[in-house]
């Protein structure tokens, strides 16, 4: 896409090419339900196969313009790639399934995590001691690159609110995909708007401002969702999810351009930056989903215990709720004791639902807090860099007194 645009628009083309991949998730949520209804999972997989074959045909037919080619890969690069890819894959598996199998209960999680650390460290050690490394480990360990990587990870953690927070919250309220279809369209619209706005407004001289705007939009959306209740429906989350989707694509282009600015001094660092940026984007989303999912589970247990402690059988309101729940089954259950048991189960189910709602509100507050903390960090860092770049005025050596 970069080569398809004129030279003066190549930065905008980079933003579009990078951000277009972020539209895949909202598009999948919009269309996958229809494909499942046509031929169940087989229809969805056939559609994915068709997309892959179409992409392969485009790659073969639409060839890139001729350019300079250099032989840069060495046999040892494949060993490094194997170690890094295997370690990253194991880490992704741990982050994806850790909160499902639970971190301290499944033995394979510890084995996979230890193996991941060993494989990644082995790959980095090989690259660090090579005369012609594929990954510039010393450059990747510099302060500017580490701060950029941390910033990308934090922002990706915030953007995981849509997949882990909002969708999980509505599913806890028994909302089906069909009921959330309009919300998915709003997410898609917000992501496309953020991508288009980023491409139109990107300025190499002001790359930090879009990051600040993205975080402000996502923090606003998260705080708006933090007051949700069991009466909240997708319509009440349109604005907040639009802001979150907008911010999730608005920051990508400027963050990529900000990293490329560190590569200009030595183009050999481009491969290292590409690897770092891709891993931080993917792992940031997985870390965010794992962190938020674990936090939601812990807070649900906390709120559930508090609610259950207050549900005493001696309370008249509790007894009335139990009897009212069982009365709805009077035409099906003749035994009063069984009706009371059904009413108790209904009350426990309602308490669990309310505990989940309170836990998701805590998740939204945590996301907003992370976004605000990242904004403050970026603001302080930008102010410090601006002060450091200002010329220091030399002191006046003259006494100023005339003789």
- Cα angle value 247/270/126 (rounded, 5°): 115
d(CA 223, CA 240): 8
**Judgement on whether residues 166 and 119 belong to the same structural domain of the protein:** no
**Judgement on whether residues 117 and 182 belong to the same structural domain of the protein:** no
d(CA 58, CA 4): 14
What's the predicted TM-score (pTM) here? 0.77
The listed range with the strongest mean pLDDT (294-308, 309-323, 342-356) is 294-308
Task: For residue 220, give its domain range.
Answer: 136-388
**pLDDT value of residue 403:** 37
**Judgement on whether residues 88 and 205 belong to the same structural domain of the protein:** no
Higher per-residue pLDDT: 368 or 66:
368
**Judgement on whether residues 92 and 201 belong to the same structural domain of the protein:** no
Number of independent structural domains in the chain:
2
* Within a domain: 403: no
69-115 residue pLDDT tens: 666 677 777 888 888 889 888 888 888 888 888 888 888 888 888 99
* Within a domain: 37: no
**pLDDT value of residue 399:** 45
Q: State yes or no: pLDDT of 56 exceeds 80.
A: yes
Residue 402: band (very low, low, confident or very high) from pLDDT cuts 50, 70, 90: very low
**Judgement on whether residues 237 and 304 belong to the same structural domain of the protein:** yes
- Mean pLDDT across the chain: 78
Residue where a domain stops, chosen among 133, 152, 182 = 133
d(CA 22, CA 191): 8
* Within a domain: 14: no
| Closest C-alpha to 80, from 265, 244, 272 | 272
* Within a domain: 243: yes
* Within a domain: 39: no
* Within a domain: 80: yes
Share of the chain above pLDDT 70, in %: 79
**Judgement on whether residues 155 and 115 belong to the same structural domain of the protein:** no
Q: State yes or no: pLDDT of 311 exceeds 70.
A: no
**Judgement on whether residues 222 and 364 belong to the same structural domain of the protein:** yes
Considering all CA atoms of the chain, what is the largest pairwise distance in Å, rounded to the nearest integer?
A: 114
Higher per-residue pLDDT: 29 or 195:
195
**Judgement on whether residues 128 and 157 belong to the same structural domain of the protein:** no
**Judgement on whether residues 85 and 171 belong to the same structural domain of the protein:** no
* Within a domain: 12: no
d(CA 217, CA 241): 10
Residue where a domain stops, chosen among 133, 158, 176 = 133
DSSP string, 89-127: HHHHHHHHHHHHH-TTT-HHHHHHHHHHHHHHHHHHHHH
Q: Domain of 260: which CATH number?
A: 1.20.1250
d(CA 149, CA 218): 19
**Judgement on whether residues 167 and 247 belong to the same structural domain of the protein:** yes
**Judgement on whether residues 102 and 219 belong to the same structural domain of the protein:** no
Residue where a domain stops, chosen among 90, 117, 133 = 133
Residue 339: band (very low, low, confident or very high) from pLDDT cuts 50, 70, 90: low
Instruction: Kindly state the tokens that stand for 282.
Output: 């993917």
For residue 195, count other CB atoms closer than 10 A to its CB: 24
d(CA 350, CA 329): 17
**Judgement on whether residues 129 and 140 belong to the same structural domain of the protein:** no
* Within a domain: 70: no
**pLDDT value of residue 53:** 92
């Amino acid at each position: 896409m970069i080569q398809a645009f004129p030279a003066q628009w190549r930065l905008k083309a980079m933003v579009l090419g990078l951000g277009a991949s972020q539209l895949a998730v909202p598009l999948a949520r919009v269309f996958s339900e229809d494909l499942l209804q046509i031929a169940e999972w087989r229809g969805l997989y056939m559609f994915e196969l068709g997309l892959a074959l179409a992409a392969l045909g485009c790659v073969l037919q639409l060839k890139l313009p001729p350019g300079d080619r250099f032989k840069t890969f060495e046999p040892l690069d494949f060993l490094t790639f194997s170690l890094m890819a295997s370690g990253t894959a194991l880490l992704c598996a741990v982050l994806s399934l850790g909160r499902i199998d639970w971190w301290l209960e499944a033995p394979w999680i510890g084995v996979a995590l230890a193996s991941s650390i060993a494989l990644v460290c082995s790959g980095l050690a090989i690259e660090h001691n090579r005369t012609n490394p594929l990954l510039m480990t010393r450059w990747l360990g510099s302060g500017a690159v580490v701060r950029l990587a941390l910033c990308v990870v934090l922002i990706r953690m915030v953007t995981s609110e849509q997949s882990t927070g909002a969708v999980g919250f509505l599913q806890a309220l028994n909302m089906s995909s069909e009921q959330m279809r309009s919300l998915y369209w709003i997410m898609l619209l917000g992501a496309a708007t953020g991508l288009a706005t980023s491409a139109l407004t990107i300025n190499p001289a002001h790359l930090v401002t879009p990051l600040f705007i993205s975080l402000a939009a996502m923090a606003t959306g998260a705080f708006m969702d933090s007051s949700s209740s069991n009466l909240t429906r997708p319509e009440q989350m349109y604005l907040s999810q639009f802001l979150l989707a907008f911010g999730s694509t608005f920051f990508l282009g400027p963050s990529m351009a900000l990293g490329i600015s560190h590569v200009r001094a030595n183009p050999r660092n481009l491969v290292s930056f590409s690897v770092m940026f891709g891993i931080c984007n993917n792992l940031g989303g997985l870390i965010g989903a794992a962190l938020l999912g674990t936090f939601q589970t812990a807070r649900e247990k906390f709120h559930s215990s508090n609610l259950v402690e207050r549900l005493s059988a001696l309370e008249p309101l509790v007894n009335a709720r139990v009897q009212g729940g069982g009365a709805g089954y009077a035409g099906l259950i003749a035994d009063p004791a069984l009706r009371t048991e059904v009413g108790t189960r209904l009350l426990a189910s309602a308490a669990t639902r309310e505990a989940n709602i309170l836990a998701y509100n805590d998740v939204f507050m945590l996301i907003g807090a992370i976004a605000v903390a990242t904004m403050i960090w970026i603001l302080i860092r930008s102010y410090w860099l601006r002060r450091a770049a200002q010329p220091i005025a030399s002191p006046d050596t003259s006494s100023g007194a005339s003789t």
